[in-house]
Amino acid sequence: MSRPVRIANCSGFYGDRLAAAREMVDGGPIDVLTGDYLAELTMLILWKARRKDPGAGYAKTFLTQVEHVLGTCLDRGVRIVANAGGLNPPGLAAELTAVAERLGLHPKIAYVDGDDLVDRLGELRAAGHDLAHLDTGRKLAEAGVEPLTANAYLGGWGIAEALGAGADVVVTGRVTDASLVVGPAAWWHGWAPTDFDAVAGAMAAGHVIECGPQATGGNYAFFEEVTDRRYPGFPIAEVEADGSSVITKHDGTGGLVSVGTVTAQLLYEIAEPAYAGPDAVAHFDTVRLEQAGPDRVRISGTLGSPPGDRLKVALNHDGGYRNTMTLVLTGTRIEEKAEWAERQLFELLGGKEQFAEVDVTLLRFDHPDAPVNAEATAHLRITVKDPDRAKVGRRFSNTTMELALGGYPGFHTTTPPSAESGFGVYWPALVPAAEVQHRVTLPDGTRRVIPHPPSGPPRTLAPAAEPGVVVTGPVRNVPLGTVAGARSGDKGGNANVGFWTRTDAEYGWLRRYLDESRFRALLPEAAGLEIRRFELPDLRALNFVVVGLLGAGVAASARPDPQAKGLGEYLRSRTVEVPETLLGAGGR
């Protein structure tokens, strides 16, 4: 079709706003309603659900949302596409059929699978595919673990095939988040798998709207720009025939769609600007943004390359058991009290060496002569991990309470003694695309295998021009966030932080100032870790990846912020030397 396809997202994660589906369908005209429910940790959550109930393994909240909107979508011709199938796409399709029958409706339902490789891991290793960890290089066999889940990231062409066959609802297993936009856009506009620029443009749009209201003012660094503080409306991507798009939201909803909010989301949880997917490589350093009207931002210029010949696989394996107790330290001599408590506790437990892993972190919130008690406290957070659940269970937490009357003055904890909990470990790897069968089951029961797009070498791009503005003169010590926004998140065990500025002069300064060494100085926790730095000049942005900051991933991390959601705001609070001429702009 000649007009853009309006693709509206109603979910950014499993557990997102339940009413969003109804709000997106009732709020204005749309062509496709999408929902993103899957993350690396979600696959482990769904595995646990399926272990209790073999018929489970999908995002159950999606069923509730579909029940709210299915009749209206069928009346208006709105297609529904979601990756809520998780580990059991056919099971979800069957449940959707049952829901529709109860409502007296008769939608055409299709599902995409083939991503689940957990039962084929032995076969893959026997064929010489070592499933080495993408960051450490360690082979899976060397780790001595058996994965609980293993899902390859599929692309959008199975979705396009299902929509082309008349499906009203398409549910998938582990497709990439952006595939939920690529598939409908390819179907709508009749793209071929070799239309890499168009696909790359849709990938950019999909990456922007995949996390729902993060694109419309949520989690936005310069939140003073968001004057409508109601809960943000969920985002819509109007994708055009060439892959360009406009990001917007329904009229009358809260939040903001600006070049800044879209830039922030483009930088979210990426690594190098060559953003790899199973359908194409989207070169985010070619993306151009412009404000096209109130709450309308146009994305254009995205160039694409053929995808590589391997697919990313997200594996999760059992990490054992863990427990955490947090001790409160009050007043003066905080570090001395913490050292005493740590020594006493592990003497009572029989030594640290009996545990597979111990993490002890002192979190300082205290300051001298505090006006209220709470402002004079710090937390000593102690986490233990071990394959033996008895070691880290109530034995650990109960022993912690033995310090209550025989330890440092003012002892108390944030919680009562707790039991152990199991945790998983995320393991990213690659497999040849030829080893993965991308399948779609159409509404009439026909099953088709979707060919992988042709692979090829990455596109050679012209080097980015040097920023033309060089700012010199007197400087002042101010928080980095005075001139730079940031958005941070997790990529398995790695953390990414994307910084952007609002003017060319600010970017010219940021690019020259914030090199790897200065970034490392701002983040002492990164000592000894690899840091990767990337420039995206068309977005006035820098992206940093800190390899291994989150340990073995979200489920295994002992950090208080295991997904690095607050890392960007922390770094914006750090003091840096900024030219005074930049601080004068806009009254800052």
Q: Looking at the chain, how many residues does it have?
A: 588
Q: Which of 501, 490, 502 is nearest to 554 (CA)?
A: 490
Q: Which of 41, 162, 62 is nearest to 111 (CA)?
A: 162
Stretch 125-137: mean pLDDT, rounded?
94
Question: According to the model, what pLDDT value does residue 461 have?
Answer: 86
Alpha-carbon distance 80 to 234, whole Å?
Answer: 16
Stretch 438-443: mean pLDDT, rounded?
98
The answer to whether the beta carbons of residues 92 and 85 sit under 8 Å apart is yes
**Tokens in use for 148?**
């609980």
The answer to whether the beta carbons of residues 113 and 154 sit under 8 Å apart is no
For the segment 518-563, what is each residue's pLDDT rounded down to a tens digit? 999 999 999 999 999 999 999 999 999 999 999 887 777 878 888 9
Answer whether residue 97 shows pLDDT above 80.
yes
**Tokens in use for 132?**
């080495």
Other CB atoms within 10 Å distance of the CB of residue 369: 6
Question: According to the model, what pLDDT value does residue 560 have?
Answer: 85
Answer whether residue 586 shows pLDDT above 50.
no
Alpha-carbon distance 13 to 563, whole Å?
Answer: 14
Stretch 132-157: mean pLDDT, rounded?
95
Q: Is the dihedral of CA 249, 255, 256, 257 positive or negative?
A: negative
Strand partners, 449: 439
Q: What is the mean pLDDT of the chain?
A: 95
Q: Which residue has the tokens 């592990």?
A: 346
Stretch 106-127: mean pLDDT, rounded?
97
Stretch 147-151: mean pLDDT, rounded?
97
Secondary structure letter of residue 563 according to DSSP: T
For the segment 445-490, what is each residue's pLDDT rounded down to a tens digit? 999 999 999 999 988 888 777 777 788 889 999 999 999 999 999 9
Stretch 486-505: mean pLDDT, rounded?
95
Instruction: Tell me how far the alpha carbon of residue 88 is from its chain's centroid.
Output: 22
The answer to whether the beta carbons of residues 299 and 265 sit under 8 Å apart is no
Question: According to the model, what pLDDT value does residue 460 have?
Answer: 86
Phi (first) and psi of residue 574, to 5 degrees: -75, 145
Report the alpha-carbon angle 284-513-532, nearest 5.
Answer: 45
Answer whether residue 403 shows pLDDT above 70.
yes
Secondary structure letter of residue 230 according to DSSP: S
Give me Rg for the CA atoms of the chain: 25
For the segment 61-72, what is each residue's pLDDT rounded down to a tens digit? 999 999 999 999
Alpha-carbon distance 403 to 413, whole Å?
Answer: 10
Phi (first) and psi of residue 215, to 5 degrees: -90, -10
Alpha-carbon distance 470 to 491, whole Å?
Answer: 33
Q: Which of 279, 314, 387 is nearest to 150 (CA)?
A: 314
In percent, the amount of the chain with pLDDT more than 70 equals 99
The answer to whether the beta carbons of residues 129 and 408 sit under 8 Å apart is no
Question: According to the model, what pLDDT value does residue 417 have?
Answer: 95
Question: According to the model, what pLDDT value does residue 43 have?
Answer: 94
In percent, the amount of the chain with pLDDT more than 90 equals 93
For the segment 562-573, what is each residue's pLDDT rounded down to a tens digit? 899 999 999 999
Answer whether residue 587 shows pLDDT above 70.
no
DSSP strands (E only) in 442-540: 447-450, 475-479, 485-491, 494-500, 531-536
Phi-psi region of 559 (alpha: psi -120 to 50; beta: other; left: phi over 0): beta
Q: Is 279 helix (H, G, I), strand (E, B) or coil?
A: coil
With a CB cutoff of 8 Å and minimum separation 6, the contacts of 327 are 338, 341, 379, 380, 382, 400, 403, 411, 412, 413
Query: 394-401 vs 334-349: helix axis angle to the nearest 10?
Result: 130
Alpha-carbon distance 133 to 389, whole Å?
Answer: 26
Question: According to the model, what pLDDT value does residue 588 have?
Answer: 55
With a CB cutoff of 8 Å and minimum separation 6, the contacts of 412 are 327, 328, 404
Alpha-carbon distance 446 to 464, whole Å?
Answer: 48
Answer whether residue 1 shows pLDDT above 70.
no
Question: According to the model, what pLDDT value does residue 425 have?
Answer: 92
| Burial class, 55, CB count within 10 angstroms (exposed 0-12 / middle 13-18 / buried 19+) | exposed
Higher-confidence residue of 44 and 555: namely 44
Give residue 194's identity as a one-letter amino acid code. T
Q: Which of 392, 328, 395, 317 is nearest to 364 (CA)?
A: 328
Q: Which helix (H) or strand (E) holds 431?
A: strand 421-432
Answer whether residue 227 shows pLDDT above 60.
yes
The answer to whether the beta carbons of residues 269 and 256 sit under 8 Å apart is no
For the segment 352-368, what is each residue's pLDDT rounded down to a tens digit? 999 999 999 999 999 99
Answer whether residue 99 shows pLDDT above 60.
yes
